[in-house]
Amino acid sequence: MKKTDLLIGLIIGLISAFVGSYLFLKTQTEYDLIEDFSIIKNEGILGKVMALGAVLNIIMFFILLKKNKELMARGVVMATIILALTTLFL
């Protein structure tokens, strides 16, 4: 069991959630994730945006399972759990 695969999966999960959040905000709203971060946080929609961005983790999970990278897929699930807990506390 290689711990680096788990860490790589965690990083993939966090990056894909960030990209998903960025794409959602860019295509569906007038906000920009980088420039309007404080506005998004003050309006209380940051948790919702993070949850919608984590949808890409599902795609990454199944891609990694199809390529027989189970530990990386576990890392993606772990990133999703971390994002869910973060969303809960925001």
pLDDT at 86: 85
Task: Classify residue 13 as exposed, middle or buried by CB count within 10 Å of its CB (0-12, 13-18, 19+).
Answer: buried
Q: 1: pLDDT confidence band, cut at 50, 70 and 90?
A: low
Instruction: Tell me the C-alpha distance between 12 and 32, whole Å.
Output: 22
Who has greater pLDDT, 40 or 13?
A: 13
Instruction: Tell me the C-alpha distance between 48 and 66, whole Å.
Output: 29
pLDDT in tens, 22-75: 898 889 888 887 788 888 888 888 888 888 888 999 999 999 999 999 999 999
User: Is the per-residue pLDDT at 6 higher than 70?
Assistant: yes
The gap between the terminal CA atoms of the chain, to the nearest Å, is 34
- Weakest mean pLDDT among 6-20, 30-44, 73-87: 30-44
Alpha helix ranges (H) inside the chain: 3-28, 37-43, 46-53, 55-66, 70-89
